[in-house]
Structure 1
Amino acid sequence: MTELTVISAAAATPGDAPYHARHLIGGTLRDSAGGARFERRSPAHGTVASTAARGGPAEVDAAVAAARAAFDAGDWSRRDGKSRAALLLKVADLIERDIERIARIETLESGKPISQARDEIAGAADLWRYAAALARTMHGESHNTLGPDMLGVVLKEPIGVVSVITPWNFPFLIVSQKLPFALAAGCTAVVKPSELTPSSTVMLGELLLEAGLPDGVVNIVLGYGDPVGAAMTTDPRVDMVTFTGSTAVGKAITAAASGTLKKVSLELGGKNPQVIFPDADLDAAADAIAFGVYFNAGECCNSSSRVIVHEDVAEALIGKVVALSRAVPFGDPLDPVTKVGAIISPEHQGKIDAHVQAAVAGGAELRLGGAALQVAGLEGQFYQPTVLSGVRPEMPIAREEVFGPVLSVLRFSEFDEAVRLANDASYGLSAGVWSESVHTCLDFARRARAGTVWTNTWMDGFPEMPFGGMKESGQGRELGRYGLEEFLEAKTVTMRIGRASRAPWVETPGRS
């Protein structure tokens, strides 16, 4: 552990009074009818970060009813794009005003570094602004080639009431990848954040009220997947479910939603490869690998937890990655210097370690880490930066999502082998390729079965660029114009114009 960079606690406890998160239903913040609550302890500090109202079927019923009534009334769903955009822009301004408040509660509830949380909240504000632009520029189609007396129009209309279910790893950022796009389209929503990180979503709800969003357009129900998420998925008054989380839960949501044939959009897991060719800039690749695997403690669907490196440069690359891994600051997430904070829960830390120990038992070589990390002054759970080499394609560590700061290194000798290894997983969220040859990069990008392919970089993202996965990494897209289209229905309007008429289908006596 002395070989690692560890940031000790700056103070014994953060000293914050716990935030109390309440449901937002029909424009009112409220506790559960029976007064049920749950608490969230900081995974880094062990102190109570928040308490939250614990919802159930009654709260879901009220929230869905409010969203349905608001959509059908049309105050938002039929509002013009200009006024929708104006409200979304106001929300973006309010988010930026409250960055420090939102970022701090995210750090306390999730364990992510405060500097990272600030960047994510700022990025979320940009998403609200981009969605505002889409609200003013979305359009349908016209078809003027159907004949002299015919005109075809394709309208784009909001799909209706949307259930938005978000995870614990990026609570504010991911709700902002979904909700503003749904609102730009004219939908209404019921939102359920993870029970591990409920508070920043409720803070967003407070900002929506302050911005003047009509009552019932956005509702928030706090609680557990069963019963809250389950009810939001099966309610026949809900027209669509958008979910980010594990592949297993995504499959369960798809099955549950099939009873009402509602639309489902899913952003799920990943086992994302970075493929390193021998002509790559190894220093740049090593830095991107360290970023990709340790960002958010590896608790990221886009984590580059799999490196597939050419055998000629494998040892050189591993050496660079291990050296960088030792220098990455792990520790107190409230210290701005820290780049990697706490693991979300003791149970998840146990799963991470079980993956690592099974890999070592199966013949993988532990180059660094492989155990819990002790941070002076903190009671929470942390895991060492971990690098495993000698990983074989059939090993679980090479195929399953670890969701922790654990890197698996595989080797290849030929281009086709690299493509085969990259695609040899049930997931298809993202992939990366490193080479000085544009031909190598483009050939790999076209053959990789992944929704996003980065070339000579990793995890650069922009609101304009769609995001989503292939295979078991999900269905549908977020961000970009595609992210808006997810929340729209196409309606065909076919019009006969003028007095010209086709020949009658039925001839009647005396008709001239």
Structure 2
Amino acid sequence: MTIPVKPKALSSHEARDFKMLIDGRWQAGDARPIERIAPSHGVVVSRFPAGSKADAERAIAAARKAFDNGPWPRMTASERSAVLLRAADLIAARSEELAYLDAIEAGKPISQVRGEIAGSVDIWRYAAALARDLHGESYNTLGEGTLGVVLREAIGVVSIITPWNFPFLIVGQKLPFALAAGCTTVVKPSELTSGSTLVLGEILQEAGVPDGVVNIVTGTGPEVGAVMTSHPDVDMVSFTGSTGVGKLTMTNAAQTLKKVSLELGGKNPQIVFPDADLDAFIDAAVFGAYFNAGECCNAGSRLILHKSIASEVVKRVANLTQNVRVGDPLDPSTQVGAIITPQHFDKIAGYVAKARDGGADVAHGGGTLDLGMGQFMAPTILSGVTPDMAVAREEVFGPVLSVLTFETTAEAIEIANSIDYGLSAGVWSRDFDTCLTIGRRVRAGTVWMNTFMDGTPELPFGGYKQSGLGRELGRHAVEDYTETKTLNMHVGSRTSWWMPQKEKLA
């Protein structure tokens, strides 16, 4: 059994009321606000404006005006970099406020969120550095009469749509790079977890971002997101969320052939060989499966174990899982928080029930944790899972670990690659040849070797197949928000194509 951490009642809490940011002004919506009920405490903790199509259109118009006529795209790179650095300092100064909002709205452990905010500060500073390194190319080898220059220009207005599972961290993987390139933006956070993004709007105003450069519209996907992904004045869409909604986003963007960047789902394997450092792996397996309650596109939700060690590994993972602390996200000792909504809880439980009915064994957990309030699920281990089961192929997005087995390296690679996703993977072996073979043959955007879910702003992040399009982070992240333009310059007089023929006729 895991260690329960019962939530304490929020006796003195008052729900916080927020407004949207459009063209530098904070505005309330016309409709009844969206009330966010904390998944850990069952009380209303935030109210967000229910943005409308008209709100989204006004935000897009503001961003369009700010890009076409405003100062931001015309600032020097050093000026934009200075603003981003000020924003990073202000984020750090308000880190506790931001961490509380993400913890209470998303049910995330406060200790974890503090780490995410610190990571976001680092990303904003990295993006500020990249702003000054954005450059084009020149070609002086094309002949005496030709000089070629390739420019990189901001792509224009960018719609940024972020999910509920990492509200502040993921907007930090997109927005600072778009700003560094000189773009203007419309941001839509999840209607479940909009608080920290709206506070970010305050921070950016204080940092010196001009009006209209960052607009934040809260509301639902059908009402607000649909406009942001289809409007002709939007030049690019950057979306993180489910693969299903990603496909809809791509369909909407295709109406005007917008550039699209998609970071979508994952069903990420950890492949473990008999010679692995099992002490290190066991810790990584529990962390990879239950970090953020498994509501993580990078979750290590599939263990692909060599048959000779499978029984031992399952037993050891189950034993360590008993020490995981589940419950109140505001308690610093909590490791796994609440499930985002009751509907999502039912979806996760449905996967577990279907796997059990299909012959899988529940080695740990499998049910609800009754902590007196909120919705919590026991970290769950399913052994005896086969590659054809839904729980082994589909993104459960919950604290559920599926265990599969293999005998040969080729079989492990086949199992890993047999699904529609390709976001990340892990391989555990003391043999470098084994790690490199898996690393080169598994179709995933990131392959960790003898570790799992490490990250840094310098390394690109994104997936193969239905895990998305494009990459975030890394030194080329700013370039993703640009277009290239060729300037082909001719030196001296030019002979037109008909001159030789004219002279011949004469």
Superposition TM-score tier, normalisation by shorter sequence: over 0.9
Q: TM-score w.r.t. structure 1 length? A: 0.97
SS in 2 for 1:327: coil
1:74 offset after TM fit, Å?
4.1
Q: How does 1:121-270 map to 2 (within 5 A)?
A: 121-270=117-266
Q: How does 1:83-102 map to 2 (within 5 A)?
A: 83-102=79-98
User: Is 1:443 the counterpart of 2:448 in the alignment?
Assistant: no
Q: Which residue of 2 aligns with 1:54?
A: 50
Q: Which residue of 1 aligns with 2:23?
A: 26
SS in 1 for 2:486: strand
Q: Which residue of 1 aligns with 2:342?
A: 346
CA distance in 2, matches of 1:430, 1:510: 66
1:35 offset after TM fit, Å?
4.7
Contact 1:283 1:320 survives alignment (8 Å): no
SS in 2 for 1:13: coil
1:504 offset after TM fit, Å?
3.0
1:320 offset after TM fit, Å?
1.1
Equivalent of 1:37 in 33, 39, 43: 33
User: Is 1:485 the counterpart of 2:479 in the alignment?
Assistant: yes
Equivalent of 2:108 in 91, 112, 123: 112
Deviations 1:222-265 (A, max 9, x none): 00001100011110000000100000000011111111001111
Deviations 1:110-161 (A, max 9, x none): 0000111111111111110000000011111111110012110110011000
Contact 1:163 1:240 survives alignment (8 Å): yes
1:509 offset after TM fit, Å?
7.8
CA distance in 2, matches of 1:263, 1:209: 27
Equivalent of 2:403 in 384, 399, 409: 409
Contact 1:114 1:334 survives alignment (8 Å): yes
Contact 1:26 1:219 survives alignment (8 Å): yes
Contact 1:275 1:432 survives alignment (8 Å): yes
SS in 2 for 1:363: coil
1:14 offset after TM fit, Å?
5.7
Q: Which residue of 2 aligns with 1:277?
A: 273
SS in 1 for 2:163: coil
Deviations 1:315-356 (A, max 9, x none): 111111101111011111110000100000000000000000
Q: How does 1:306-317 map to 2 (within 5 A)?
A: 306-317=302-313
Moved over 4 A (4+): 508-512
1:47 offset after TM fit, Å?
1.3
For 1:332, give the aligned amino acid.
D
- C-alpha distance 35-283 of structure 1, shift in aligned 2 (>3 A): same
SS in 2 for 1:468: coil
1:18 offset after TM fit, Å?
1.4
SS in 1 for 2:174: helix
CA distance in 1, matches of 2:468, 2:138: 32
Number of matched residues?
A: 504
Contact 1:162 1:241 survives alignment (8 Å): yes
SS in 2 for 1:486: helix
The more displaced of 313-322 and 182-191 is 313-322
SS in 2 for 1:480: coil
Contact 1:192 1:220 survives alignment (8 Å): yes
Q: Which residue of 1 aligns with 2:455?
A: 461
Contact 1:36 1:55 survives alignment (8 Å): no
- C-alpha distance 150-74 of structure 1, shift in aligned 2 (>3 A): farther
Deviations 1:471-495 (A, max 9, x none): 0000011001232121011111110
SS in 2 for 1:137: coil
SS in 2 for 1:482: coil
Q: Which residue of 1 aligns with 2:467?
A: 473
1:39 offset after TM fit, Å?
0.5
SS in 1 for 2:476: helix
For 2:25, give the aligned amino acid.
T
Give the root-mean-square deviation of aligned CA atoms.
1.4
SS in 1 for 2:39: coil
CA distance in 2, matches of 1:14, 1:383: 24
User: Is 1:385 the counterpart of 2:383 in the alignment?
Assistant: no
Q: Which residue of 2 aligns with 1:420?
A: 414
For 2:75, give the aligned amino acid.
R
Q: Which residue of 1 aligns with 2:6?
A: 8
SS in 2 for 1:286: helix
Contact 1:243 1:265 survives alignment (8 Å): yes
1:73 offset after TM fit, Å?
1.0
For 1:355, give the aligned amino acid.
Y
Contact 1:14 1:45 survives alignment (8 Å): no
Gaps in structure 1 of 5+ consecutive residues: none
Deviations 1:280-301 (A, max 9, x none): 0111111001000100000000
Q: How does 1:314-393 map to 2 (within 5 A)?
A: 314-375=310-371, 378-393=372-387
CA distance in 2, matches of 1:35, 1:318: 51
Contact 1:85 1:136 survives alignment (8 Å): yes
CA distance in 1, matches of 2:505, 2:129: 55
